[in-house]
């Protein structure tokens, strides 16, 4: 009996890491799928309204770097807003609004990975700026660590907190496979950047 239990314990010890890896990979794919949905929603919104910035009450595009869905003037809140909602005042660019563009976005319930997420929309760092873990610049080609986004462009991106380095590697492998020769480069190049200091990823969505 003791021998059987010992064998079972060994098998469990061997299988658990693989099970956890499978779960992590599945969660990374879920987040990647959600990111593609967010991109599509913003593109449709842009096609109608002409901006990636959320509209304020007056129907004017406004920088909003919080990106929390609970804030009615945030981009995710605008993307999930129904065209018939009273928040649509019908003024200026609201006239072209045809929402909802996105079924749901709950900052407190990230899909797959993380503890909280937000979708800010703000101005990009200058073209050619060295990308850091937290600045508004992305080396989309992944070739030199410098931002490829035009100076002053409006950028919508996803910020997800509560991401471990292992989880970053999983999501980075799905979205930025092949970018970066080492860990330091993978964390700062491509569409997904990672800040180890605060367990956070910054995922480029779209810019105008």
Q: Which helix (H) or strand (E) holds 11?
A: helix 2-49
Confidence of residue 3 (pLDDT cuts 50, 70, 90): low
Q: Alpha-carbon dihedral of residues 129, 134, 140, 146, nearest 10 degrees?
A: 20
Write out pLDDT tens, residues 14-71: 443 444 444 456 778 899 999 999 999 999 999 999 999 999 999 999 999 999 999 9
Q: Is 159 helix (H, G, I), strand (E, B) or coil?
A: strand
What range defines the domain where residue 62 resides? 2-207
- Report the chain's mean pLDDT, rounded to a whole number: 90
Number of domains in the chain: 1
């Amino acid at each position: 009996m003791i021998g059987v239990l010992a064998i079972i314990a060994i098998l469990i010890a061997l299988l658990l890491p693989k099970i956890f890896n499978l779960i992590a990979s599945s969660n990374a794919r879920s987040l990647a799928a959600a990111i593609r949905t967010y991109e599509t929603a913003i593109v449709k919104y842009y096609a109608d309204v002409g901006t990636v910035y959320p509209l304020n009450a007056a129907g004017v595009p406004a920088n909003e770097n919080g990106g929390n869905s609970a804030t009615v003037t945030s981009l995710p809140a605008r993307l999930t807003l129904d065209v018939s909602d009273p928040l649509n005042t019908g003024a200026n660019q609201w006239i072209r609004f045809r929402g909802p563009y996105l079924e749901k976005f709950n900052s407190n319930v990230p899909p797959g990975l993380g503890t909280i997420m937000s979708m800010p929309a703000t101005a990009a760092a200058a073209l050619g700026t060295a990308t850091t873990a937290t600045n508004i610049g992305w080396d989309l080609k992944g070739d030199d660590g410098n931002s490829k986004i035009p100076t002053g462009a409006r950028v919508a991106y996803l910020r997800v907190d509560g991401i471990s380095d292992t989880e970053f590697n999983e999501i980075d492998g799905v979205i930025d496979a092949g970018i970066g020769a080492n860990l330091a480069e993978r964390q700062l190049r491509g569409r997904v950047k990672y800040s180890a200091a605060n367990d956070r990823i910054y995922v480029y969505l779209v810019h105008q």
